Structure 1
Amino acid sequence: MEISSGPVGSCSKEHQKIYQEWFNCADSDGRITGNDAIKFFSMSNLSRQDLKQVWAISDSKRQGFLGFGEFIIAMQLVSLAQSGHEVTSDVLQSDIDFENLNPPAMEGLDALLAKKKKHPSKSNDPDLNGVTVNKLIPLSSVTSIIDGLKRLYIQKLKPLEVTYRFNDFVSPLLVNTPLGKPHSLSICSKAVIQSGTDERSIPGNTVAVQADMPFNGLTTFGTAFLSKFECSQMPHPLLEHITFVDTPGVLSGEKQRTQRAYDFTGVTSWFAAKCDLILLLFDPHKLDVSDEFKRVISSLRGHDDKIRVVLNKADQVDTQQLMRVYGALMWSLGKVLNTPEVVRVYIGSFNDKPIREGFVGPIGKELFEKEQEDLLADLKDIPKKACDRRINEFVKRARAAKIHAYIISHLKKEMPAMMGKAKTQQKLIDTLEDQFGKVQREFHLPPGDFPNVDQFRERLSGYNIDKFEKLKPKMIQAVDDMLGYDIPDLLKSFRNPYD
């Protein structure tokens, strides 16, 4: 396995061979879990506080385990601690020659390695990231947070989704979208840019049927969309951690009268649910929020924490104009986003050309450079926050599925046993907002967690409500138990083992 370039985590081929042998000795399933670490790291004779820091820095993505690359980082930090260095995150930015840093002293390791060679155990086949792909396993045996979420989904959440057709109304089943994908989707629908061994473009219809890619759910948008969708692959270190998804741009003015051949807002919503960051790009000369852009932003409801606004090409206006543009942008966004919280806006000229100081002056140039640094820092944090984001999205999905089940079962209960079913169904569809209110009051649910009424009504009109399932309290209770007990226990199991 090749180690990514850079000061920390890189090492000579000789040291890499040593660490590979140590890694195989320490792990039991292709990764170093908390229990593995406690046993193996204790041979360094470092204090518990130092080992706590080593784990916290190495497991920066909070996955609850260390792959081979993270294991090398951990061993290098142990070596530094043994030589008297303070173990902090600042050491990663230091000028230490990590590539030639000697492995740490591990008391009793030679004897353990000799024992392993004498009695070799069966090894698991790791995937491309050094992580064993686990199938359905007992919750008590999972070795990472992602494994645990997969197990909980199949056991407790998926049955509820299938019973009440959640995937038809809101989101495809997660079985088609690998939870443990190593990269994070960033920005939000026509072209995907991701890592690959060489430069090539893959047509949308091909991408949607590939089992090793998380785009199976896009088949629901039909050939009209897939024929305009493509995946571009190229070798680049950044793309090993982040996948970019770019839109073709929203329509405005007279162009809006020409309808797209596919559900543009639906596609955007699909990606929004799976990405880590959404960038809304504005031009200082084109601040109008078109009807299509309003629909797109409305489809991002529930993902407010992911949204960032970028005011690009800001060096094309002078300082006074920029103040007016910024105020106009905030006013327009306030009406569309419909939230009292102020959205984060990055101001600058985000391209590879020099900033035009003649317009903005030296103060503006300094501001733009700081804004660019902040945006890059936000992007760099995506891989580190990927695990937390998956947990957050999983919990949001579970709550949405539960509310969906309440809505569907309520509509089923309102249907007559014999006569007038068609008339009653139409009445329920017409008064759907009132029906949402009844469900909200009966089960004491937050009104902000309910789906968009118009979108729900549109999908509901294609179904026979009488064929829906009645409320099944045991399924609801299983999801409640998962949210109240199973997920907190899972997070507790994979916290820093030295806490």
Structure 2
Amino acid sequence: RFMCAQLPNPVLDSISIIDTPGILSGEKQRISRGYDFSAVLEWFAERVDRIILLFDAHKLDISDEFSEVIKALKNHEDKIRVVLNKADQIETQQLMRVYGALMWSLGKIINTPEVVRVYIGSFWSHPLLIPDNRKLFEAEEQDLFKDIQSLPRNAALRKLNDLIKRARLAKVHAYIISSLKKEMPNVFGKESKKKELVNNLGEIYAKIEREHQISPGDFPSLRKMQELLQTQDFTKFQALKPKLLDTVDDMLTNDIARLMVMVRQEESQMPSQVVKGGAFEGTMNGPFGHGYGEGAGEGIDDIEWVVGKDKPTYDEIFYTLSPVNGKITGANAKKEMVKSKLPNTVLGKIWKLADVDKDGLLDDEEFALANHLIKVKLEGHELPTDLPPHLIPPSKRRLE
């Protein structure tokens, strides 16, 4: 049931994205999956750097299965972020109610002292249905992107922490197994002794904790361990091997410390923005919080400029936006461009294409181009990655 797709997108050079099937409501649908959904998610949760839970603002519902899924993510709360999506489909007052209801519902399931971070927005490229909260959506989107962009920097550190956790668990496991082996009789009463030891496993944990000064957090789940031990033959367990334990201790004390220094050095040498491409493109330059890409390239003089026929209409708007020396600022251009209700990720891309000479200002031709691209997008077409010759303004066709 697991499918993989490879796409030529620079975002995927830095991160891999795992998309889970949608949450189902109703017992019949849940049973028909044919596999343990929560267990599969738990397996992935242990191995990923970030878990994003998506909720639709206009139909907020935490079904029984979703509750089970969130409970399966226990011990990974630090990785969880929540996105309240399609928030442009409801009015501000209702959005506040939905946000409050979501926080209350999550508080009952995610049992942590820290409040889980919820990002509110509309994460698609369609026009915003109710654009009243555009500024909020912009800020939330930038915060979420920054959070995702930090993941490659922290990935090595997380793997190192997992290695430390696993080493400690292996060490504790050795103490538990050898203690059970030591308690077993050589000849008679093996089964009854085994039952007694499984029932009293909590006391064995406490004894090991005291004798070896081990933190309670390093022990495996008591209930799960008792379940697994039911089917084991204790007489085949190994006795403690101090040499192997010394090797683990040496690794935790010395090797990990050296690795930690190397990871820190590597981190400091990494660029601040690791995830690039797509909606992550660029920095905070420009009026839409997105940077500029490569130049549009040289145009061809005899190709007709398709924007020309609509330019007189766009010129009328252009001259109402207070041009100085024939150009308008990014802030003034933004005031007009947001009237399209397109989200910032899309308008940022349009700005990047329209600002052909990369001076952070738009002249009348560039402004006309920006409006043409908005029209293209609103008609349901995809925006080009780079300007094709028929879109390059005539006066910019000799630019390198």
Q: Which of the numbers 271, 279, 282 marks the counterpart of 2:55?
A: 282
Q: TM-score, normalised by structure 1?
A: 0.48
* Alignment partner of 1:471 is 2:245: no
Change (3 A) 1:463 1:342: same
SS at match of 2:163: helix
CA offsets 1:433-476 (integer angstroms, 9 cap, x no match): 55444444443333334333444344333322332222333322
* Alignment partner of 1:345 is 2:118: yes
Where in structure 2 are the equivalents of 1:53-452 lying within 5 Å? 228-255=1-28, 258=31, 260-284=33-57, 285-290=59-64, 292-357=65-130, 362=132, 364-433=133-202, 435-452=204-221
* Alignment partner of 1:488 is 2:257: yes
> How many angstroms does 1:259 deviate by?
6.2
C-alpha contact (below 8 Å) 1:334/1:340 kept by paired residues: no
Q: TM-score, normalised by structure 2?
A: 0.59
Change (3 A) 1:483 1:310: same
Q: Identity over aligned residues, as a percent?
A: 52
SS at match of 1:308: strand
Distance 1:386 1:446 in 2: 25
What is the aligned residue count? 267
> How many angstroms does 1:270 deviate by?
2.2
CA offsets 1:130-180 (integer angstroms, 9 cap, x no match): xxxxxxxxxxxxxxxxxxxxxxxxxxxxxxxxxxxxxxxxxxxxxxxxxxx
C-alpha contact (below 8 Å) 2:84/2:119 kept by paired residues: yes
> How many angstroms does 1:345 deviate by?
1.4
Distance 2:175 2:50 in 1: 30
Unaligned runs of 5+ in 2: 270-400
Distance 2:238 2:32 in 1: 36
Distance 1:242 1:409 in 2: 42
CA offsets 1:407-444 (integer angstroms, 9 cap, x no match): 33333334333322223333444454554444444433
Distance 1:487 1:350 in 2: 40
Distance 1:264 1:454 in 2: 21
Which amino acid in the other structure matches residue 288 of structure 1? I
Partner residue, 2:381: none
> How many angstroms does 1:279 deviate by?
1.1
> How many angstroms does 1:257 deviate by?
5.9
Change (3 A) 1:448 1:344: farther
C-alpha contact (below 8 Å) 2:52/2:80 kept by paired residues: yes
CA offsets 1:67-117 (integer angstroms, 9 cap, x no match): xxxxxxxxxxxxxxxxxxxxxxxxxxxxxxxxxxxxxxxxxxxxxxxxxxx
C-alpha contact (below 8 Å) 2:84/2:121 kept by paired residues: yes
Change (3 A) 1:319 1:385: same
Change (3 A) 1:494 1:435: closer
Partner residue, 1:80: none
Which of these two proteins has the greater Rg computed from alpha carbons?
A: 2
Change (3 A) 1:464 1:337: farther
Distance 1:454 1:260 in 2: 27
> How many angstroms does 1:243 deviate by?
0.9
CA offsets 1:47-73 (integer angstroms, 9 cap, x no match): xxxxxxxxxxxxxxxxxxxxxxxxxxx
Distance 2:52 2:34 in 1: 24
CA RMSD of aligned residues (A): 2.9
Which amino acid in the other structure matches residue 174 of structure 2? A
C-alpha contact (below 8 Å) 1:403/1:450 kept by paired residues: yes
SS at match of 2:17: strand
Change (3 A) 1:437 1:496: closer
C-alpha contact (below 8 Å) 1:314/1:349 kept by paired residues: yes
Which amino acid in the other structure matches residue 238 of structure 2? E
Unaligned runs of 5+ in 1: 1-227
> How many angstroms does 1:485 deviate by?
1.5
SS at match of 2:150: helix
CA offsets 1:383-414 (integer angstroms, 9 cap, x no match): 22222222222222222322333333333334
C-alpha contact (below 8 Å) 1:348/1:372 kept by paired residues: yes
Change (3 A) 1:406 1:310: farther
CA offsets 1:245-284 (integer angstroms, 9 cap, x no match): 1111344332476264333333222222221111122233
Distance 1:486 1:421 in 2: 41
CA offsets 1:356-405 (integer angstroms, 9 cap, x no match): 22xxx53x221112111111122222222222222222222222322333
